[in-house]
Structure 1
Amino acid sequence: MNAREIAYKVLLDIEKNDNYSNMAINKHFKDVKLSNQDRGLATEIIYGVVENKYYIDYIIDKLSKVKSDKMEIYVKTLLRMGIYQIMFLNSISDYAAVNETVNLAKKNNAKVSGFINGILRNVIRNKETIGNITVKDDIDYLSIKYSYDKWIIRNWMIHFGDEFTRELLEANSEKPSIYVRTNTLKITRDELIERLQEQGVKASKVSQVEEAIKVENLKNIENNSLYKDGLFTVQDISSMLVGKVMSPKENSLVLDVCSAPGGKTTHIATLMKNTGKVVARDIYDHKLKLINASCKRLDLNNVDVESFDALKLDKESVAKFDYVLADVPCSGLGIIKRKPEIKYKEKEDFRDLPPIQKRILENAAKCVKRGGTLIYSTCTIQDTENIEVINEFLQKHRNFELAPINEVNIDLDNQEKGYMKIYPNVHGIDGFFIAKLIRVR
């Protein structure tokens, strides 16, 4: 199976099953042998098509009598793949893009190969102008250019203003940087950088977190010997900041109520130098297995993985923990770079999130002992899921107060107030929200 065939299968899975691209890639790549070159091309096509879906469909609709929303999914997927390669990938010749896409069409349904060939050749003939967006309305224009559902852009315009929204859309269109977190129980950051460089990986220090390394050209991570040996784990800077804000003392008792896939759990356990105990909870067996696997790989023995629903109160945990983390389910609108499918979610998909977040926070708070710390975090930039949840909680719970965040090497506006709003266009890392609360009585 070549790069385009696997890309086609993954894109169909994403489109038909509303699957996330990273999950679909992991599922399909796992069972096939691909060279690094094919793996790279397939990944480029998959993410490129997903990230630019509305824009590519706009081009299709200019050239086809059958509009994109009326097409069979497999036909539309093939056209998107071909157009993406023609319009975005300078490393691939137009001839190869057309030829390979038509061959792929013939393998699936020879009857549509002529139609696909005609559309793609039309794109090439009109390449200089076909990508021009001629709509006048600002929201419509930005929705097509950056491929977003209109409600998201409208929402951001209202809350952030025109200029900030455009900067945010542009920042979200850039390729995400890859960061790894040093397992300081096994190796120093300087030593890990040296070992990575010996493998030909470009690795550099990150100022915000002393364990963090920015990497480039790190291929096939799960098969990397340093990864297998538990010397590092992949995690974005914003996610690492959660553990740093908590800053748990050694021999503490910590509860992570929504732990999977375990990045923050393992960071917290590492910060505690493998002492004390971190109770990591989630409700799905396959996610619990992921946490256990990460702990085993990193040689962490201070983590207890438990199946428990954060929407329910564990009476045995009331007022028991020194630190509690509620990294709640959210809209993910801060990590669009990494999960571009979020751009196409409808407003209704997120409507039930704040009530769920509030309920989890309520239950998590009950588990904090007097003088203990409660961390609330999300990977979204929506105030309705962030500061508004915190403010409502504080109004009801006078025994908690926001505490200044002095533990991290990053300067944000509201740190002294006890919370951090992180934006991709301002801070160059994933959009996140982190609040630090102390139970004062």
Structure 2
Amino acid sequence: MQTNSSETSQSTNLQYVHWFRHSAPYINAHRNKTFVIMFDGEAVQHENFQHIIHDIALLHSLGIRLILVHGARSQINQNLKTSGIQTPFHNHRRITTRESLSCVMNAVGSIRLQIEALLSMGLANSPMYGARIDVISGNFVTAKPYGIRDGIDFQLTGEVRTVDTDAIQRHLKNHNIVLLGPTGYSSTGEVFNLVAEEVATNTAILLKADKLIFLGKQQGLVNEFGQLQREIAPHQLDRQILQYQDSNPDIALQLRGAKNASLQGVHRVHLISYTYDGALLEELFTRDGAGTMMTDAHYEDVRTATIQDVGGLMNLLRPLEAEGILVYRSRERLESEIEQFSVIERDGMILACAALYPIPTSANEIKSAEIACVAVDPTYRKSNRGSQILHYLEDKAKSLGIQQLFVLTTRTAHWFVEHGFEAASVDDLPNARQALYNYQRNSLVFKKSL
């Protein structure tokens, strides 16, 4: 038993070391970047929120500039119920009466104090020990009345007029965390009840934030097969917004904010779950993440090749085949295997390509596939397009139930290792692929578990 316990401990430690080493590129990439993180009132009440605070403190310690935006719907509802006050809704937006404003302010103030207290923890033997975080909140958001819509006066419900980005930037440069709530102030001194998702979205856009992160109840978006969508483009969100508009308006608000932010300069918007311990770290420091990322750049131009692409593929592959980097493929073979290829196209030009070949496997073999013909136009080899198309094929392989990927290469071993592949041998290949191995070419074999 002692030996087994020791081996288990060693295995756990090795997994941790492996994860920590592979998180280094993300740590370097995120340092001095600006992230806006939004979570609603239910998240604050959830048992996992203390872990979220620990992870936020860790992000701060890694040099990430953080603006936190909290909601308060559930707390406002509880205060109104306790006070015996009812506030109507129209189009899923609360009509804030003067009578109800004190309930709003009490809820928002209480949450702010709770978050500040959690970020001030410094008990020994806790994740917050020695963190020493200064949290700044204030009148950073200027609001205006939402006005009369469909003949209905929304009274003290407002919308964002502007955000004092200069003041926020000063506090971020001083290594402070900025905390915003769902309230804003007018030049006449009035307080308006705002939608927290809109505060977060406007703040991210005006600050030109590097990321906007929504912590919601669900893990992310799923496709028609119930599979988590790791990435989605903003123009694909309209159907999802309509889908959730009535069934779950909170998610619809987040998706609308994600679309607006993506189209207005925020390159990465993430939707993850506040109920999942470690979701924030997994989303930011692993390749696959823990939720859904919205981006206007990553997969937008990656698609399955068609017969019309054969000429462009030949132009891309022939120079590499002449150098012996890739195996020669005739035009006829390319045409017959065209459905295995994926390409990145811009303005009619094929910038990158790669192929995914499922490998026939027996009942006792792991379902596998081979990635081949990874090629990027020389002009674009520093543009990350090779990584884009590789990740695209990995997701395609997962959707096909592939559990293991192989690559055979003579020149680009280091590139595949950087993308998570590990050295293997010919004997590790499925029997059907071993039979076709070219010993004269003597390619190195690498594999990756999905």
What TM-score results when the alignment is normalised by the length of structure 1? Answer: 0.23
Which structure shows the bigger proportion of residues in strand conformation?
2
What TM-score results when the alignment is normalised by the length of structure 2? Answer: 0.22
Which protein is bigger by CA-based radius of gyration? 2
Which structure shows the bigger proportion of residues in helix conformation?
1
